Amino acid sequence: MQIISLEEKIKPFLKELSIKNIEEILEDYLSTEILFKITQFKNEIESFQKKYNRTFEELKKEYENSEEKFEIYDDLMAWEFAIEGFNYWSKKLEELKKCFSE
């Protein structure tokens, strides 16, 4: 009984699509997913910047020096999460690039 690997079975498809190997597909897929997450976080950050017409740091400083407003607090927490998510996934994209460049 002959066992054919998945890569051997899909070689004709890879060739027709000008894809070198499965690693290229994997790199493209992972990069696309990570870029999607980065874009989502970036859009959220930009939305808050537009809403408040200032940076996160500026609004946080203003909030800390004024009376408590729950809407602003909630937005600051969401904004901070978006910044952390953006930074996290940007770092992961760089790590991924290194994985495939070695």
Q: Mean pLDDT over residues 74-91, rounded?
A: 98
Question: Is there a domain that residue 6 lies in?
Answer: no
Give 56's pLDDT tier (boundaries 50, 70, 90).
very high
Rounded Cα distance, 40 and 37, in Å? 5
Question: Is there a domain that residue 88 lies in?
Answer: yes
Return the pLDDT at 1. Answer: 56
Q: Model pTM?
A: 0.83
Beta strands in 5-52 (DSSP E): none
Question: Is there a domain that residue 94 lies in?
Answer: yes
Rounded Cα distance, 76 and 10, in Å? 49
Return the pLDDT at 42. Answer: 98
Contact in structure between 92 and 34 (CB atoms under 8 Å): yes
Give the number of domains in the chain: 1
Question: Is there a domain that residue 9 lies in?
Answer: no
Question: Is there a domain that residue 42 lies in?
Answer: yes
**Letter for the amino acid at 36?**
F
Return the pLDDT at 20. Answer: 84
Rounded Cα distance, 32 and 29, in Å? 5
Expressed as residue numbers, the domain containing 81 is 21-101
